[in-house]
């Protein structure tokens, strides 16, 4: 009997196909949205559109409308690629995390895992210059104390994403009661 994947790795093959399917669907959505936006839209309009999409996506997360939130976060990522805001690894990491979060809530565990891992890689690249850290410490001393005691916002984002990866290992959806409904970054 012919099988597309060896029996010993059938589950791995199935998971890989699932990730590829979801990723291809998201990529197609981003490409279509890029095409709809066009090339001659003013940067101010794109920035306003990005903010509006993020606000709407957050509302859909709170309402637990995961497919709609996924669509909106994906479109926001497409716009951010045009505004160049996703050139910042922290911003891109947040967008990618939020897409992973929606997939996680939908039960698309392997696809969510791939997005969470990409998010962690982006967030690891965030390293504000020392001067900025010092200036923030002078202007906002509570931030400096928070960073010294708890490791800072970015460190906590990475840790939270790693916790979500543990949930995925056990095929668990996020516990929305612990962090509040729709706890995208």
Query: How sure is the predictor about 161, in pLDDT bands with cuts at 50, 70 and 90?
Result: very high
How many angstroms separate the CA atoms of 35 and 24, rounded?
Answer: 16
At residue 4, the pLDDT reads 41
Task: Spell out the residues 6+ positions from residue 5 whose beta carbon is closer than 8 angstroms to its own.
Answer: 12, 13, 14
Asked if pLDDT for residue 95 goes beyond 70, the answer is yes
pTM: 0.71
For the stretch 30-51, pLDDT in tens is 666 655 666 677 888 888 999 9
At residue 57, the pLDDT reads 96
For the stretch 128-139, pLDDT in tens is 666 666 676 677
Angle between helices 109-124 and 89-105 (to 10 degrees): 160
- Tokens (6 digits) for 58: 């957050």
Of the two residues 121 and 82, the one the predictor is more confident about is: 121
Q: Stretch 60-81: mean pLDDT, rounded?
A: 93
Of the two residues 71 and 135, the one the predictor is more confident about is: 71
- Tokens 């668990």 map to which residue? 172
Of the two residues 44 and 66, the one the predictor is more confident about is: 66
Q: From residue 92, how far is each of 22, 157, 179 by CA, in Å? A: 19, 13, 22
At residue 177, the pLDDT reads 76
Query: How sure is the predictor about 13, in pLDDT bands with cuts at 50, 70 and 90?
Result: very low
Task: Spell out the residues 6+ positions from residue 160 whose beta carbon is closer than 8 angstroms to its own.
Answer: 185
At residue 52, the pLDDT reads 94
The rounded percent of the chain whose pLDDT value lies above 70 is: 68
Query: How sure is the predictor about 167, in pLDDT bands with cuts at 50, 70 and 90?
Result: very high
At residue 7, the pLDDT reads 42
Q: CB under 8 Å, gap of 24 or more: what pairs does 11-17 form?
A: 15/110, 16/110
Q: What residue ranges define each of the domains in the chain, with the CATH number in brackets?
A: 13-179 (1.25.40)
């Amino acid at each position: 009997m012919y099988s597309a994947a060896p029996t010993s790795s059938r589950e791995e093959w199935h998971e890989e196909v699932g990730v590829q399917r979801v990723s291809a669907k998201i990529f197609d959505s981003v490409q279509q949205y890029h095409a709809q936006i066009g090339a001659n839209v003013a940067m101010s309009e794109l920035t306003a559109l990005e903010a509006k999409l993020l606000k709407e996506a957050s509302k859909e997360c709170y309402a637990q409308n995961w497919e709609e939130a996924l669509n909106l976060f994906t479109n926001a990522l497409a716009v951010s690629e045009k505004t160049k805001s996703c050139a910042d690894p922290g911003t891109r990491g947040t967008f990618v995390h939020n897409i992973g979060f929606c997939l996680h809530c939908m039960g698309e565990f392997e696809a969510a895992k791939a997005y969470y891992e990409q998010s962690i890689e982006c967030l690891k690249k965030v390293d504000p210059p020392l001067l900025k850290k010092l200036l923030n410490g002078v202007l906002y001393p509570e931030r400096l104390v928070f960073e010294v005691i708890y490791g800072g916002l970015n460190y906590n984002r990475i840790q939270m994403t790693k916790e979500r990866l543990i949930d995925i290992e056990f095929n668990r959806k996020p516990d929305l009661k612990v962090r509040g409904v729709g706890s995208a970054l």
